[in-house]
Chains A and B, each alone.
Chain A
Amino acid sequence: MAWPLLVLIAMPDLAGLGSLWSRDRRLAEALQCGQAGILVSAALLVVERVATEGQASVDPFLRADAMSAWMDLILGAVGGTGTLYAVGYMGEELDRGRVSLRRYRQFFCLFDLYLAAMLAAVNVENVAIMWIAVEGSTLSAALLIGFERTKAALEAGWKYVILSSVGIALALFGTILVYYSSEHVLGVTSEALRWSELYRVAESLDPAAIKAAFVFVLIGYGTKAGVAPMHTWLPDAHAEAPTPVSAMLSANMLAVAVYAILRFKAVVDRTVGSSFSGTLMVGLGLLSVAIAAVLLLVQRDYKRLFAYSSIEHIGIALIGFGLGGAGVFAALWHLLNHALAKSAAFYASGLVLLRHEHKMLERVPGLLRQMPLAGGAILVAGVALSGMPPFGLFISEVLIAIGAYAATPGVAYGLLSLLTLAFATLLYQVLRMALGEPLEAGMALGSRNQTFMSAAIWLNLAALCTIGLQIPARCGTLLGAIAPFFGGTMEAP
């Protein structure tokens, strides 16, 4: 029995329901802070367990292998700091009287259920239950995005609900197709839906059915991952959601959707070889990077700016996974670093938003001088996100570009030129915000709330910088264990 795994999934549920019932704000805060700590430590324990024993499982539903553990690490770390940040952010909203205590408690309930659903999705053993968990995260996210009930938030929420419901429906059809073909090999039992069984018999599955299934899964979960051309909900949702939610959407949910695609990719690759899924993923990835790189330049809303940057980075990760081999390693590393950097960027944007109460990029220059922490975090995260050393995203982007060059030089040229464009535009926009003279004074934040938010930002930046310089041994072991899963033999460099 792997209790850290259980704790990891159960803790947010309990903390969320506890917050909903707690009459007192302090109690809810304590619960959330406790959850943040437990999430991080449970995730680390799961990683430890998987790195030493190969897997952690709670029969028959949960089983974490190296890939799940990797996702647990991302979700646990960013989920932890995100919870901490949300305590400060929603506390400030509460103090300003923009939400009632009742809505404050509702927020945390939804927020925690959302985290729990994502954590469940990456640890369940059953293909269809993973779908249910992902759908659960979609639904809780839908309520969170429209949480502020402004016209813009409602519009963003509506777009999100409609698009991701369609996407998730297509993904379910893909899942059904997989089941349809696997039950001919395994019989009409729930065994036919277990990942481990699917990998075992993947070679004898019907190629046509699995190919069709993968296309549906890629479009379906791709919509949730914000892959172009199904990305249209993403900038709106990221910009209009309460900032802690934007950070979780970008850092966690996109990664969970990519994880779902990867799981299916592993089956498809065993059935029909890796070129089928690889080509599709590289194509969609390039399209996403291209669209995001161009649109980064015209953004006037700093949350939308980071949203488009998420589309770009998910595109890069897809290209890495599509290339296989060292690309898989690089893309996984990319996901973790992107999660840390992007959530730090959103946390800092949240501080700016609370101070100035608008999201217009031109009107918030001089952040370094006005709000050193937020300005500094935006600068550091911006530099990391534009792919400069000494951050992990630099390493992964270089590795992916090298992998692309080895496979098809054309892809590498396209990718490199798009990366350069994205690099220039993102850095330009970030520098506009960080440097210069402040224009508006804005509103001061409560010091207590500020503490929570600052802590979250510091933690994120510290993690980002530490792993940027050197890959920790445990992470290396995990990545080394995932690579063979996709047919690669890459050792951690």
Chain B
Amino acid sequence: MFQISPQLGSQLVDLCAALLLLTCFAIVAQRRLSACVDLFALQSVFLAATAALVAFLTGIHHIYVAAALTVVIKAVVLPRILKKVIERLNVSRELQMNINVPAGLLVCGTLVILAFYITQPIIPLGFLLTRDSLAIALAIILIGFFTMIARKKAVTQVVGFLVMENGLFLGATAAAYGMPLIVELGVFFDVLVAGLIIGIYTHRIQDAFDSVDTSKLTVLKE
């Protein structure tokens, strides 16, 4: 069994977290729906790698379980469901957005800075291993949130939601060394069910409105 010095370990975890953040930016800039889903799958792989790294460095073994679940659910099952949904759609790329890509990127940049600003007073509290991870986790959550606002297509809004979940999971594993196993399992179950339910809704919206453009949902207003 080889050892990694804590400092190197901390850097590796930060590096993985930064990779997650990079894929976020790629998702924000990507217009093709299927590519967004692929990028989400890639992000989940990075997430699993981060979790496995934390598990290895801390010796908390149940985080390995969480990492394995991440790969299965977020990198394989959910992307596959989303791809199935996309296959049924009549569009493959998103041309109209509520906020266009360059402006969106600027907003995301601001969100990252905001996340660092918010977590700055909390970070010194953290473990050595996880200096930036909490800030990056919050940044990913905010960017996922932003994606849900900026996009009109139901599928990309779902991707935004899942990105938020990835941010949460990063926060839980990297910053807090993972929640207890039963909690992780519960959260995973919920995420999976949420993904399924949102998938069901996308299907039904496609059937009822002949589109997954959520800006066409205008039956209800004051």
Contacts and interface: CB of A to CB of B under 8 A. Distances in A.
A and B directly contacting (CB within 8 A): yes
B175 A169 contact: no
Interface residues of B, number: 50
Given A176-B171, A180-B176, A162 B157 contact: yes
Interface in B139-196: 141, 144-145, 148, 154, 157, 161, 164-165, 167-168, 171-172, 175-177, 179-180, 182-183, 186-187, 189-190, 193-194
Interface stretch (A151-159, A381-389, A441-449): A151-159
B129 to A, nearest CB: 12
A128 interface: yes
B121 interface: yes
Given A162-B148, A183-B176, A295-B222, A176 B168 contact: yes
Contact of A158 (B168, B176, B180, B205): B205
Interface stretch (A31-39, A41-49, A184-192, A271-279): A184-192
A298 interface: yes
A278 B177 CA distance: 31
Interface in B86-137: 118-119, 121-122, 125-126, 134, 137
A193 B168 CA distance: 17
Given A136-B190, A146-B204, A206-B125, A170 B141 contact: yes
Contact of B165 (A169, A190, A236): A169
Interface residues of A, number: 49
B190 A135 contact: yes
A347 interface: no
Nearest to B172: A176
B217 A158 contact: yes
B interface secondary structure, majority:
helix
A156 B171 CA distance: 31
Contact of A154 (B172, B198, B205): B205
A208 B122 CA distance: 6
Interface in B29-60: 60
B197 A206 contact: no
Nearest to A178: B176
B164 A169 contact: yes
B208 A165 contact: no
Interface of B: 60, 118-119, 121-122, 125-126, 134, 137-138, 141, 144-145, 148, 154, 157, 161, 164-165, 167-168, 171-172, 175-177, 179-180, 182-183, 186-187, 189-190, 193-194, 197-198, 200-201, 204-205, 208-209, 214, 217-220, 222
The 5 closest A-B pairs by CB, nearest first: A132-B186, A190-B180, A208-B121, A128-B183, A155-B217
